[in-house]
Structure 1
């Protein structure tokens, strides 16, 4: 099965920058977290993932990825037919990358993942704060170099690489080391009642400055630089956080429990941040090219020159009208469930569906987005609930589209 490949300026390992990047199938987000997030049947083993486009900030061309251990009947149920050879050929693993690291550095990450995994799965009640700190710095850095949800400021990305490369050794070497680990701090929120498939994803804020916020598995994590200079209180979206609740490598690891509703609020804020504050298509392309050049040189380039280039790309982005339909996939799921309920004579209210987490404000936003599409002369035929919400009989309903292509 193919993995993702990032165009790079050299073939050296992204971490050590000495050996060739000869490792294939590397996870940017550790498997212990992706398995929980994407497993089709809840079993947290490798290659059981089903990854939909809307669960990853930066998807590739294919709409969905099926792990090699996903049950064939589940794939057939999703696709409406058995998977074809052509579909298998296009089935790129969205979670794995080739030729980013060397084998030795990949194994170094394994030291962190094994120890953190024991804590995450409840096999141990606590974890050494230096291990936890390096683990989360490694997740952030790998997500950044894999363009997997976040785009970091160059100074932070290179600082994290330096910290990780100097300090990831054996377990005993890490916990006994007196080496300074930089001036970063991170706060962790964790869902207290667990998650079900569809709740989570691999998401991150796409603004290249702190705090960097990511959502993966049942975690929301915010990373701060210049920890010592932080005020006694900081804000993450609508959350106010006390500095004492921010983890560092020098104090016991802890997290803040949140409800599933609060988890979804974080998720929506992260998605909205990507849309409202992201770089834009052309700036993102240019930023990636610049960053790959920087990585090959081992240091950030002149920020003034970068800003001039990015401003030019922004002019191209600003000429394009940004149109979106918020939470479209959830309204599609709601419509399908509604049709199924009607067929079976069952009462169904999608506003009370735990798996969808939709509310009246979401409906209002959805209607506004449909109206905006119309304003820019886009057809909204076939959009779920468009006919019903806009009370317009000229719109082709979602159900009519489904029935048109449904096998007889």
Structure 2
């Protein structure tokens, strides 16, 4: 067993650790109307395929609706990407849980002011960014020195009791003073609309994350603030010049109306769709060449027929858009052209 990724001194004996706090994650990937733990029913959208996962308490009737019959092998291989084993020790898991519970109280604060101590909110968002990065699975990976900086801050200042966090030392810490973030929120958006976790893989100044009804822009240096405006589905519009949150300044949010927030998320969906189609196009051409087809590109009509077969296939939702379904669709359409 490896040592804890946070303290690096105790054994990482904890299982079932959430890389994203449950109070936020349940609003993204839990079964509709089921906020309890182990009720996850989510989808991971990759470049070429969509995979899915489910919690151990999802009823068989629901699983049958989404997947049809599941094999023993499929059940054994099911895993939830944002729940991990043997990352943390018991103490560090409890410390992370404490900061999450404290920040969760701000969910009812739907105005600009989160009404929370600045050092607590900073530690919370640092913990999110750091955990996303160490997973190496969500697209966002910090530079080694940035990841180590956040680990060092969390290990130094998180505590088993919120009241024992050394706020004075934290506020005087030069490393902490360089960090800042902006936060967009659309209160209660997830009560009626689908939300997502999306970490931009190439944005660094700032690092950019969509998480449920929040959008985080995180800066490692003061010189990065407003130095570069990166396109982020429209969320970057109007960002320049707005107040930043630091260890010295209480958290203020930029409040979005539902219509504007939804429009930006639609831009995200369009981006993901376009990226998927580009990857399909590349794959189809590669297969076409390896199969000895004429020219370097698969005929456009054949490509469209493959995509249409995927889209209009009446498979259960959990079976659609997997790589296996893609291979079958290619085979079924390409064999029509066999001599």
Give the TM interval when normalised to the shorter protein: 0.7 to 0.9
Would the alpha carbon gap of residues 97 and 231 (structure 1) be closer, same or farther in structure 2, given more than 3 Å must change?
closer
Would the alpha carbon gap of residues 187 and 403 (structure 1) be closer, same or farther in structure 2, given more than 3 Å must change?
closer
Cα contact 2:48–2:280 (8 A) shared by 1: no
Q: Secondary structure at the match of 2:169?
A: coil
Partner in structure 2 of residue 66 of structure 1? 54
Partner in structure 1 of residue 155 of structure 2? 165
Q: 2:34 aligns with which of 40, 43, 50?
A: 43
1:257 is displaced (CA, Å) by 2.6
TM-score relative to the length of structure 2: 0.73
Cα contact 1:151–1:206 (8 A) shared by 2: yes
TM-score relative to the length of structure 1: 0.61
Cα contact 2:195–2:213 (8 A) shared by 1: yes
Cα contact 1:26–1:97 (8 A) shared by 2: yes
Partner in structure 1 of residue 101 of structure 2? 114
**Equivalent runs, 1:377-388 vs 2, <5 Å:** 377-378=287-288
Q: Secondary structure at the match of 1:246?
A: coil
Cα contact 1:191–1:263 (8 A) shared by 2: no
Partner in structure 2 of residue 247 of structure 1? 245
Q: Secondary structure at the match of 1:202?
A: strand
1:245 is displaced (CA, Å) by 2.3
Cα contact 2:114–2:252 (8 A) shared by 1: no
Larger relative contact order (C-alpha < 8 A, sep ≥ 6)?
Answer: 2
Gaps of 5+ in 2: 290-299, 317-339
1:268 is displaced (CA, Å) by 5.8
Cα contact 2:13–2:89 (8 A) shared by 1: yes
Corresponding position: 1:257 with 2:246? no
Q: Secondary structure at the match of 2:3?
A: coil
Cα contact 1:11–1:21 (8 A) shared by 2: yes
Would the alpha carbon gap of residues 101 and 400 (structure 1) be closer, same or farther in structure 2, given more than 3 Å must change?
closer
Cα contact 2:53–2:79 (8 A) shared by 1: yes
Cα contact 2:185–2:255 (8 A) shared by 1: yes
Cα contact 2:281–2:303 (8 A) shared by 1: no
Would the alpha carbon gap of residues 115 and 175 (structure 1) be closer, same or farther in structure 2, given more than 3 Å must change?
farther
Partner in structure 1 of residue 165 of structure 2? 174
Partner in structure 2 of residue 215 of structure 1? 210
Output one character per residue of 1:373-408: Cα deviation in whole Å (capped at 9) or x when no partner: 5554549xxxxxxxxxx7779946528973699xxx
Q: 1:94 aligns with which of 56, 78, 81?
A: 81
Q: Secondary structure at the match of 2:217?
A: strand
**Equivalent runs, 1:7-406 vs 2, <5 Å:** 11-54=2-45, 63-81=51-69, 83-122=70-109, 126-149=115-138, 150-169=140-159, 170-174=161-165, 176-179=167-170, 180=173, 181-192=176-187, 194-195=189-190, 199-207=194-202, 209-227=204-222, 229-230=223-224, 234-237=228-231, 239=236, 240-258=238-256, 259-265=261-267, 326=274, 366=277, 375-378=285-288, 395=305, 397-398=308-309, 402=313
Separation of aligned partners in 1, 2:27 and 2:304: 44
1:226 is displaced (CA, Å) by 0.9
Would the alpha carbon gap of residues 392 and 45 (structure 1) be closer, same or farther in structure 2, given more than 3 Å must change?
same
Would the alpha carbon gap of residues 115 and 204 (structure 1) be closer, same or farther in structure 2, given more than 3 Å must change?
same
Cα contact 1:195–1:260 (8 A) shared by 2: no
Would the alpha carbon gap of residues 206 and 393 (structure 1) be closer, same or farther in structure 2, given more than 3 Å must change?
closer
Gaps of 5+ in 1: 1-9, 272-324, 329-365, 380-389
Separation of aligned partners in 1, 2:194 and 2:100: 23
Cα contact 2:115–2:251 (8 A) shared by 1: yes
Q: Secondary structure at the match of 1:177?
A: helix
Q: Secondary structure at the match of 2:82?
A: strand
Cα contact 2:206–2:225 (8 A) shared by 1: no
Segment of structure 1 superposing worse, 209-218 or 192-201:
192-201
Separation of aligned partners in 2, 1:193 and 1:79: 30
Paired positions, count:
289
Cα contact 2:184–2:215 (8 A) shared by 1: yes
